[in-house]
Chain A
Amino acid sequence: MSEMACDKHKETFVLNMGPQHPATHGVLRVKLVMDGEYIVEAEPVLGYIHRMHEKMGENRTWAQFMPNMGRLDYLGALSYNHGYAAAVERAAGIAVPERAEYIRVMTVELNRISSHLLWMGAYLLDLGGFTPLLYAFDDREKILDMLERVTGSRLTYCYFRFGGLYNDVDDQFLAEAKGFVARLRSRLPMYHTLVTKNVILMQRLKGIGVIDADMCRRYGVTGPVARGSGLNYDVRKNEPYSVYPQFDFDVPVYTEGDSMARYMVRMDEIEQSLRIVEQAIDGLPDGPVMAEKVPKIVKPPKGDYYHAVEAARGSFGVRLVSNGTNTPYRMKLRSPTYSNLSLLAEVAKGVTVADAVAFMGSLDLVIPEIDR
């Protein structure tokens, strides 16, 4: 921490927000130098839930690392499954059957919706509104139930395999998913009446934590945060993977760069994800869900591979270095919120605690993913 903290003559004091604080959603610690209610300096301190996932990857086989992907971003675990599976498939040259890709996209988008719903609720909780959280959980519960039936777990999914899926979906899942799309479509106006249009919420979010596009580029910010600052970057569109090019969906972009813009991006993304899910259900092809020629022990040829996917919080990239054995030589996981969090130090300067909380919440932080 800087001299500011130690200077007795300046009337500042150090406030520890976290590692146990209701607004940090996990074990993030933010050291704040405060001048009264105003923040002079903010410094995020990481490492409280560091589990060495990257090192673990170097010590187990390619397939054995799969369960770890559910433990990074536990709210959008399927995107991470997808990112890792796709990276290894690219490395080993495994082609995935189309039905499997469709189901991957469908479940990933459902997972994205559940993640955004939870974010919306938790964000409102940060802002002091309790009820939207429970309403969002009501909807999210439906997604969890559906995914539980298919994948066998509710949160830390381990559903994708190299070359396809662990299990096929059944008709009941498709019917439920269809029903859910209709249900959430009818519920979204309620969220907008209760939350989005609320004058208190607008007053708390508009003009708070403004990030411009240039700053996003400097920090490598991706996902809804970048799209809220006018950067039209979505991995699904810019570096298309899987079967995303076959779907018709928009990338919501807002140029204001404030917390409200980020909020609106996520709310609009829910609608777009619903569109994708709907199209995926309608166009789901028949066929196997597992590629035929997947070697029992995957050994990607020597080389350096990278694959990025659009997770709920931004671009998640897996960089694999293979030396041709059954364990990775190096596994680098690029997690979006790590970059997004680094904005905090710059943006939080000179704002009040309440606004810093409103800004931090709008970044949608998931701490285990930052620390890995």
Chain B
Amino acid sequence: MNPEIIRVVGYVVAVIAFVALNAAMLVWMERKVAGHIQRRIGPKEVGPFGILQSFADGIKLMTKQLIVPEGADVLLFKVAPMLVMIPAIMCFVTIPFSEQLAARNINVGLLLIFAIASVNVFALLLGGWASNNKYAVISAARAVSQNVAYEIPMLITAITVVMFTGTMNLQEIVLGQAGGFWNWNIFPVGKNIGMVVVMPISFLIFFICSMAETNRAPFDLGEAESELVAGFHTEYAGMGFGLFFLGEYANVFIGCSLSVILFLGGWQGPFGLLPGVHWFLLKVYFLIFVVMWMRWTFPRTTFYGLLNLSWKILIPISLFNLVLTGAFIKVF
């Protein structure tokens, strides 16, 4: 058999296994973080420190019946959860965990991730609409306009990075940040002194947008359990709900790893020492921790508050950043 096919199959299996395992661990981590922030213990019964809790939950979800509500569009209703999961897995293909550890090195990797990740919102819309539930429809409409509003500043900030690094290849973006933390894009003292002003703000905007993109609190308007019960997955039971859940965590991971690759030097060590996958994972999990920490601190924004933030603050500032970047690249 063609060794290339074996390699591809191997990668796909590895990626799916990683996504599932990672999501399970993130659910556990979220519950632990939430617990300790709220001065509780969190899961502790299943396995040491409750580490197997997510697997127990997974088994429970899998044994449950997938109920299709009356009047629902059966086909779309069943397709939607898969549509959440598939783009999430596909995004992992281009993410370089380390110099050697990447499924596929594509020269437009950044573009590919944005293109595929946009499908995610389509799944939310389908899921919400197909459920034949009023809460789900409202939530789906919210999720779509939220994603549209936040895609713009996110892409603009991504453009500043691309302009600065001159490549869309994620591998090369990371390689360009080698040496030490002074070369990282978030604070590139070593490369372009002018960009020191622009990049931290770009990072903040990018991070906020990636949170809004993944429907994480405080931007979880799509789920908004105190307003819309459970939002677009109100009617989903069993693994249908489970896939939405896994997809959310996979997207959080992708959002955080993109932030790490674009701004925090990917797998590079802070002093140029021992570059490798450990640095990448350390940074990503730290960012994920921040995401969780924010979720368990803030109340939810409202819809117009969210759009105001995007159109009145994030987009003007990111556009201004873009202009500044152009100027600084020319000047310095």
Name A residues whose Cβ lies closer than 8 Å to a Cβ of B: 13, 15, 21-23, 34, 36-37, 124-131, 134-135, 138, 194, 198, 200-201, 203-204, 352-355, 357-358
Contact = CB atoms under 8 A, between A and B. Distances in A.
B39 A127 contact: no
Nearest to B298: A200
Give the 8 A-B CB pairs with smallest separation, nearest first.
A128-B300, A129-B299, A134-B38, A127-B299, A23-B226, A126-B226, A354-B302, A128-B299
B229 interface: yes
For B37, B298, B301, the residue with the greatest tally of chain A CB atoms inside 10 Å of its CB is B298
For A15, A131, A352, A354, the residue with the greatest tally of chain B CB atoms inside 10 Å of its CB is A354
B237 interface: no
Interface string B288-309: 0000000011111111110000
Given A130-B296, A131-B296, A357-B227, A204 B302 contact: yes
B225 interface: yes
Contact of A203 (B141, B217, B302): B302
A357 B221 CA distance: 13
B301 A204 contact: yes
B29 interface: no
Contact of A130 (B38, B221, B227, B228): B38
Contact of B227 (A129, A138, A353): A353
Contacts of B228: 353
A134 B229 contact: no
Contacts of A23: 226-227
B138 A203 contact: no
B contact residues, range: 20 to 34
Given A128-B218, A131-B297, A198-B299, A203 B225 contact: no
Given A128-B300, A200-B298, A22 B138 contact: no
Nearest to B220: A128
A22 B229 CA distance: 6
A194 B39 contact: no
A295 B302 CA distance: 59
B224 A138 contact: no
B204 to A, nearest CB: 15
B233 to A, nearest CB: 15
B278 interface: no
Nearest to A22: B226
A138 B37 CA distance: 13
Contact of A200 (B37, B218, B303): B218
Interface string B215-249: 00110110011111100000000000000000000
15 contacts: A15-B135, A21-B229, A125-B226, A127-B299, A128-B218, A129-B297, A129-B299, A130-B296, A134-B38, A200-B300, A200-B301, A200-B305, A204-B300, A204-B301, A354-B300
Contacts of B104: none
A285 to B, nearest CB: 39
For B34, B225, B227, B229, the residue with the greatest tally of chain A CB atoms inside 10 Å of its CB is B227
B44 interface: no
Given A22-B225, A125-B226, A131-B37, A203 B134 contact: no
Contacts of A203: 301-302, 305
A204 B226 CA distance: 14
A128 B134 contact: no
B302 A13 contact: no
A354 B224 contact: yes
Nearest to A205: B299
A135 B303 contact: no
Given A128-B218, A131-B296, A204-B305, A357 B226 contact: yes
Contact of B224 (A124, A128, A130, A200): A128
A10 B17 CA distance: 50
Contacts of B34: 130-131
Given A135-B38, A198-B298, A13 B134 contact: yes
B64 interface: no
B79 to A, nearest CB: 25
A13 B228 CA distance: 15
B299 A204 contact: yes
A201 B299 contact: yes
B303 A37 contact: yes
Contacts of A204: 299-302, 305
B40 interface: yes
Contacts of B298: 128-129, 198, 200
A203 B224 CA distance: 17
Given A22-B229, A357-B226, A127 B300 contact: yes
A194 B297 contact: yes
B218 A15 contact: no
A355 B224 CA distance: 12
Contacts of A130: 34, 38, 296
A135 B302 CA distance: 24
A33 to B, nearest CB: 12
Interface in B4-58: 34, 37-40
Interface string B128-146: 0000001100100110000
A134 B39 CA distance: 8
Contact of A128 (B40, B142, B217): B217
A354 B227 contact: yes
A192 B332 CA distance: 45
Given A128-B218, A201-B299, A138 B305 contact: no
For A125, A129, A138, the residue with the greatest tally of chain B CB atoms inside 10 Å of its CB is A129
A200 B299 contact: yes
Contacts of B301: 200, 203-204
A203 B304 CA distance: 10
Nearest to A208: B302
Contacts of A358: 302
Nearest to A201: B299
A37 B138 contact: yes
A128 B304 CA distance: 16
Contacts of B304: 352
